[in-house]
Structure 1
Amino acid sequence: MTRTPRRRPALPAPDLPRAQDLAASTARPVAAGAHDGLLLDGVDLSGVDATDARFLGCWLRDCRAGEVVLTGARFVDCRLSALVATELTARASSWRECELEQPRVGVLSAPGAVLERVALTGGRVDFADLRSSELTDVTFTGCDLRDVDAAGARWTRVRFEDCRLGALELSGARLSAVDVSTSEVEAVSGLDGLRGLVVDEVQLLRLAPLLAAHLGIVVVD
């Protein structure tokens, strides 16, 4: 058993002004639009297509949506609070120095997304498609993530703290210091992608039968 020091992810530090210093807006984001220094409070985002849009120093608070498209969108120094969406499509989007608080999302489709110095706190995502995503210095705290597909992902210094993880798919993933040791993990598949995963001893014992089967080890009574 290899024991290594835990490297905690760097915490994001969004350069956000106070809410009262942002420009309050009820305008819905648009594709390829530049959205800078805005406070979107309670805006209905249902049906919004913000493909390739840019968000710099923005705060989206208490926004609701059925389906919203953020494919290729870029978020820098942003905060999203209490976002509720049935389906959020964020393929190939990028997020840097951002905070997401208490999101409630049915389906998060974000294959190829890039997250750097991002913190997610609380909330629930029923299905998260994070295939081929790149996460660096990302923290999940108190999140309920029912089904996570991270096949082919590249994650570095990612920490799940006091989270609930349902099915976690890691086929072909490349992990470095990805810590789930303080979270509840119900099922893991894709054992070829486990290298770099940090678990506690109880979690290791739960993984033992899968590891044995993967390696062709026969266990007898």
Structure 2
Amino acid sequence: MPKKPAGRPAPVAPDLPTDEDDLQRSPAPPAAGGAHDGELFGDDLDLSGVDARDARFLGCVLRPGRADGLDLTGARIVDSRLATLAATQTRWRSSTWRDTELRECRVGALDLSSASWTRVAVRGGRFDFVDLRGAELTDVTFEDVDLRDVDAAGARLTRVQFTGCRLGHLDVHTATLSAVDLSGSELEGVSGVGDLRGAVVSQVQLTRLAPLFAAHLGVRVR
């Protein structure tokens, strides 16, 4: 029997109150190794330079405004939301995210190398450089996001959809893709076209990528 298609990403709906202000407002930034349950880290907190490595967040909302250098390395974020976060660079590598939403965040350089995302939605915002090397993304949606440069070399992407996004440059060298839908976004450049197997592109995108496919296959076009 033929293998069933992987399908679209599962919907993302963090288990949070309708009114975020019903959460307990945290008087202090998150701490390294800390456990945070049902807390609101609001715009009265500047999370710039905060070390929250290996912290645990369950049912939390982080909307701090500034968060330059916020370190979430090894953190676990479940049923949570990050909103209106602004940073020149952040370190979130080897972190685990599940049933979580990022909304209208603006980050210069985002390190998500070796991270694990399951049922995550990124809605709006801008990311100048996203490092996804060695990361694993399953049931992830990007909606109306400005992504200037995405390095997904060696990553594993399953049911990942880009809708209404601008993708400036996408590197998929040695990546494993399954049901990765790029067709609903603007795609300007790709590295590693030979590893695009498992991706869905539009007719316009295919036309633009044709010279890269030809070069990869060693085909001369006159």
2:6 and 2:178 in contact (8 A); partners too: no
Taking the aligned partners of 1:159 and 1:78, their CA distance within structure 2 comes to 20
Contact 2:6 2:159 survives alignment (8 Å): no
Q: Is the 8 A contact 1:161 1:182 kept in 2?
A: yes
Deviation string, structure 1 residues 183-210 (Cα, Å, up to 9, x no partner): 0011000123200110011111111111
Query: Aligned equivalents of 2:42 and 2:21: distance in 1?
Result: 12
**Structure 1 length normalisation: TM-score?**
0.95
Aligned to 2:146: 144
Contact 1:131 1:151 in 2 (8 A): yes
Counterpart of 1:78, as a letter, is S
Q: Aligned partners of 2:67 and 2:120: how far apart in 1?
A: 22
Match of 1:20? 21
- Say what the alpha-carbon RMSD is for the aligned residues: 1.3
Task: List gaps (5 residues or longer) in structure 2.
Answer: none
2: CA distance, partners of 1:19 / 1:191:
43
3-state DSSP of counterpart to 1:123: strand
* Aligned residue pairs, count: 217
Q: How far did residue 130 of structure 1 move?
A: 0.6
Matched residues in 1 for 2:117 and 2:32: separation?
21
**Which position in structure 1 is the counterpart of 2:41?**
40
Q: CA deviation at 1:5?
A: 6.9
Specify every segment of 5 or more residues in structure 1 that has no aligned partner in the other structure, as ranges. Answer: none
CA–CA distance in 2 between the matches of 1:107 and 1:74? 20
Counterpart position of 1:206: 208
TM-score (norm 2): 0.95
1:40 and 1:63 in contact (8 A); partners too: no
Give 4+ residue runs of structure 1 displaced > 4 Å after superposition. Answer: none
SS at match of 1:124: strand
CA contact (8 A) 1:25 1:39 kept: yes
- Secondary structure (helix, strand or coil) at the match of 2:189 reads strand
**Stretch moving more, 62-71 or 32-41:** 62-71
